[in-house]
Amino acid sequence: MRTITLIPGDGIGPEVAFAAQRLIDASGAELNWEIQNAGACMIERFGTPLPESVIYSIRRNGVALKGPITTPVGEGFRSVNVALRKELDLYVNLRPVKTYRGIPSRYENVDIVIVRENTEDLYVGIEHMVGGDAAESIKVFTRKGCERICRYAFEYARREGRKKVTAVHKANIMKCTDGMFLGIARDISKDYPDIKFEEMIVDAMCMKLVQSPESYDILVLPNLYGDIVSDLCAGLVGGLGFAPGANIGNDCAVFEPVHGSAPDIAGKNVANPIAMMLSGVYMLRYIGEIEAADRIEKAISYVLSEGTVKTSDLGGSFGTKEFTDYMISRL
C-alpha cells in the first residue's frame, strides 16, 4: 500500500485537500496518508513555513498531494512552493488545461499541456536594491535546466500520443538566456521527428491562445512565462478552479492545484475543489493507480456535464463538502 504525503496548506487548502482525499479514498485506490503541515502557521513553532519534517516526508514517500499555501505579497517569507521545487529539484511544472462540457467557455476542444521549467529564471530570487531608487533582479538559465525541460516536453508528447510541441520564448530581446533556451529546444526537436515542432515569441503566443487555443498541444516554456501563460490558459477553460498542477523531479513529485489559498473565503465551505481533485487524478496516474484515476476523472466530467450540482463560483449553491459528497456518489 503506497504512502502519500498530504500537505493541507492554509486558507482554503485544508477544505479542498481533504475533499480530494475523501474522493480518492472512495475511488478504490489503496493509499496511506501521512499528514504534514506547512505555511504561516508553522513559523511560530519552527521559525519557518516549511519545516524539515515536510521535506523529509516527501523524500521518503516520493509523492505528495498539497493544498495551496499563502505567499505574502511584497514582504514576509518567500514562497513555500518555490522552496519545495528548489529543495527537491522538481524541475517540471506540468499544468494541463482542457474544456469540460458544462463549464461556461467561449472555446471548445481545448486540450493543452503547459510544461514549465520550475527551478530557474527570475524565480531563483537573486535580487537587490541598487541605491535607494533602483532594484535589480537576475535571470538565470543553465544549459542543464533548458535541456532537461525541453527533453521532458518531447518525451511527454511521445508517451501521451501528442502531436506538437511549441517552444515559447523572448529570444528576440533576451538573446543570451531565452536565446539559449530556444537553441536547445531546436536541437532536441531533431531527436523527435515524429513530433511537430514550432516556436513562438511569448507575446504572440498569448494572442494566438486567445484567438485559436485548440491549435496548440504542448507548450514548453521558461519559468516566468510558464507561470503567466498557464493562468491565461486556465482562463480559456473556465478559470483556475479547473486547473490542476504537478511538480515533478527525478526522485519526487508534488501535486497541487494552480490556484492560490483564497484566505477571504477560507472556512466558509464555498471553495471549488475540482482543481485539487484533478491534481489527485494526475497523482494517481503517476503512481500507477490508473483505474482509480479514470473513475474520478469520469465522475468529474459527468457531474460538470449534468450542470445541476455546482459550487458558488459556478453559480450554484453546493458547498465544498456537499459537492464532494455528490461527487463520491457518482464514482
- Domain ranges in the chain? 1-95+242-331, 106-236
Which entry of 86, 216, 227, 310 is annotated as an active-site residue? 227
| CATH 3.20.20.70 describes domain 106-236 | no
Using DSSP's 3-state secondary structure scheme, residue 95 falls into: strand
Residues 209-224 have a mean pLDDT of 98
Strand order in the sheet with 218-221: 31-35, 2-7, 63-66, 253-257, 244-248, 92-98, 111-117, 218-221, 164-169, 196-201
pLDDT score, position 78: 61
Which entry of 100, 123, 152, 225 is annotated as an active-site residue? 123
Rounded to the nearest 5°, which phi and psi values hold at 142? Answer: -120, 155
Residue 308's Cβ-count burial label (10 Å; 0-12, 13-18, 19+) is exposed
pLDDT score, position 75: 47
DSSP state of 78: P
**pLDDT band for position 76 (50/70/90)?**
very low
Same fold, 1-95+242-331 and 106-236: yes
C-alpha pair distances (Å), 17 with each of 21, 218, 274: 6, 28, 10
User: How far does Cα 118 stand from its chain's mean position?
Assistant: 10
Which residue did the predictor score with more confidence, 1 or 272? 272
170 as an active site residue: the answer is yes
DSSP state of 19: H
E strand or H helix at 93: strand 92-98
Q: What is the pLDDT of residues 101-114, one digit of tens each?
A: 988 889 999 999 99
Q: Check: CB of residue 151 under 8 Å from CB of residue 92.
A: no
Which entry of 66, 98, 170, 310 is annotated as an active-site residue? 170
194 as an active site residue: the answer is no
**pLDDT band for position 164 (50/70/90)?**
very high
Beta strands 134-137 and 127-130 are antiparallel
Q: Which residues does 173 contact at the CB level (< 8 Å), separation at least 6? A: none
**pLDDT band for position 21 (50/70/90)?**
very high
Which entry of 203, 251, 268, 298 is annotated as an active-site residue? 203
The overall pTM is greater than 0.85: yes
Average pLDDT across the chain, whole number: 94
As its CATH architecture, domain 1-95+242-331 has 3-Layer(aba) Sandwich (3.40)
Beta strands in 132-243 (DSSP E): 134-137, 164-169, 196-201, 218-221
pLDDT score, position 74: 45
Which of 218, 227, 310 lies closest to 270 in space, CA to CA? 310
